[in-house]
Structure 1
């Protein structure tokens, strides 16, 4: 039985025994569990000359569909493990590279043994796919440094979560070896149990600047990592930021007239007047939408008036909103020492006044939430998932409501 297979030091079922010899205390990754999720039998090799008579390939010499590619893999010299995996499990692997990746991860077993990519299966042998179905146990929050700000969980299910990243904390890898949001996730999120493709630990699918706090989307399973990453890459995810600007921006010269399918569709439908900033950066298109929420006199007397705004990035350039605010609007974000030439040490007390306050995910980004076959239909606005948080107290303190 290939159940509850322990993971290696990198979350893989490979080389567990050799690794444990030199490690008496197992880390969290070693507690993740694996199970057999698919079984099959290695088919017999087909003579090379039989390929010409194959119904998948004989019909059309120019045909290059999945059936044709799958048929050709059976004629490869040696009938290697990746080709066999691709052939036996057509519903799990759409391409041969996907099967090769599964072999490299140590997920393919032949007759109960983990096999490498150079193994040549014998026809009739049993072949199975082993996948992680549970992540490790959550870590104890009390083990975190006392001065480290905690994470708030705004939304969570077995596949993904949306957390509130503290400002001043990097999203991922800190070159100095310090704490990052990614490193903190196992301390605050529930483990994924009984779900195929569970990740050893949660992983962010996008990033926020270190100085920017707010909503951060993280994946807990392989399915979530793929679908969410694709949604962010194709700009199908709506992100709304709230910022406090130094000064009063001029009336927008260009406004959003119609945006039924875009990032700001909800705001336009509500009759809000949204300005458009179209200012390329490094020769690349860079677009943001924005609107004024309210303004108030600056109690510190350093900036005249302060303006609370909503901003929607339509593209994803580095420091896009900060640069658009300072450049195109002529009103830098309060606390931005990098892009505000009039920044003073007094402005550093409360940090940067920029926060990701709302994220809206299309159905195709979270397909596990649906069972009616319409999960990929992004045209149904009722199936969008919206997560939002309130403004930080420091925002209303500097720009109070009238």
Structure 2
């Protein structure tokens, strides 16, 4: 149980094991006893750092079994400054409170710093915007990225500001919405018109030959990951036999969340996302048969026409259902309007 006199946040926390703790691993018991502000990963890191004592002795063993009456003390350090630096990058904020922030990510914005993109990322922007409201994810004052959008995919993203929110949202995304608490819908402009108004693409994904892209692979392959996408055709363009080019506006809903999932799955059924540089190359010349100004809009599209239009989840502290939407960005909207005028 938690000692009511222990401090919140950083400092020293003293706890005593009750009868229900008997036989539990130290890291398992501490994660539950410290509450939702502390993820199990963070508890394990504190144990490894020598920040935990049991009955006065420092314990580094995660699997140490607890007994009724054991007294533990945990030294919680202040969150360290985030390694990436904050940058004043404009954000389109859809919702924000003390626990989380939801943004409409523009196409072209990388989510997390990495090779070739150490600055100018969403994380840099969030560190600057959130400032001291970041209480620390895993002991570091940084935003908690629980899901990502490709650099050139726009739309709704939720980011945690506290360990408690990070753990709750991570769990929701980890089970891919199996609990019913997660809803993700994307708008995609695709080449050709699917034969069925609705469909399910159930095809495992793994690494392609170049190790950057993904591909549909046999289910028995070592890196194969279960992947399911549900699609619904919203609009059809160029339906008659005389039309040289056919396309469709499709809503895709994710049952799983794999890297490049929608892009690979739609290409797999011969409906690649328009503008996709990785999975739609074979369809690039289709734009040449479109009339102007639509041809120019499609050829000038510098990214895949894919937008995360809706994200639904339960708030990590209130449990309130949240449903955030972002309108179709201008580059996609102009192409849609051009197809409608065909």
- The one of 157, 175, 187 equivalent to 1:242 is 187
Does residue 213 (structure 1) correspond to residue 137 (structure 2)? The answer is no
Aligned length: 284
Matched, 1:176 2:119: no
Which protein has the larger Cα radius of gyration, Structure 1 or Structure 2?
A: 1
1:91 CA drift (Å): 2.5
Paired with 1:99 and 1:108, the residues of 2 have a C-alpha distance of 9
Q: Report the 3-state secondary structure (helix = DSSP H, G, I; strand = E; otherwise coil) of the residue aligned with 2:152.
A: coil
Tell me, in whole angstroms, the C-alpha distance in 1 between the residues paired with 2:117 and 2:155.
Answer: 22
Task: Please report how far the alpha carbon of residue 159 of structure 1 lies from its aligned counterpart in structure 2 after TM superposition.
Answer: 1.2
- 1:36 paired with 2:30, answer no
TM-score normalised by length of structure 1? 0.58
* Equivalent-residue separation in structure 2 for 1:171 and 1:103 (angstroms): 31
1:141-170 deviation line (CA, Å, top 9, x unaligned): 55x6xxxxx431122111111222222233
CA displacement at 1:40 relative to structure 2: 5.5
1:342 corresponds to: 283
1:156 aligns with 96
Counterpart Cα distance in 2 of 1:322 and 1:97? 32
1:277 pairs with 2:201: yes
The Cα shift of 1:234 comes to 0.4
Shift of 1:389: 0.7
Question: CA contact under 8 A between 1:35 and 1:132: conserved in structure 2?
Answer: yes
Counterparts of 1:2-401 in structure 2 under 5 Å?
Answer: 35-36=10-11, 38-39=13-14, 66-69=20-23, 91-92=33-34, 100-104=44-48, 117=60, 127=73, 129-130=75-76, 132=78, 142=88, 150-179=90-119, 180-189=121-130, 191-192=132-133, 199-236=140-177, 237-252=182-197, 274-280=198-204, 281-284=216-219, 285-296=226-237, 304-328=245-269, 330-340=270-280, 341-344=282-285, 347=298, 349-350=300-301, 351-361=303-313, 363=314, 366-369=315-318, 375=319, 383-400=320-337
Instruction: List structure 1 segments (4+ residues) > 6 angstroms apart after TM superposition.
Output: 93-98, 133-136, 193-198
How many Å separate the matches in 2 of 1:239 and 1:108?
Answer: 40
Per the normalisation by structure 2, the TM-score is 0.66
RMSD: 4.4
Where do 5+ consecutive residues of structure 2 fail to align?
A: 1-7, 62-70, 205-215, 220-225, 288-295
Quick one: distance in 2 between partners of 1:279 and 1:96?
33
Distance 1:160 1:98, change over 3 A: closer
Unaligned runs of 5+ in 1: 1-32, 44-54, 57-65, 74-81, 119-124, 145-149, 253-273, 370-374, 376-382
Deviation at 1:197, TM superposition (A): 7.8
Q: Could you tell me how far apart the structure 2 residues matched to 1:225 and 1:317 are?
A: 19
- Where relative contact order (Cα < 8 A, 6+ residues apart) is larger, the structure is 2
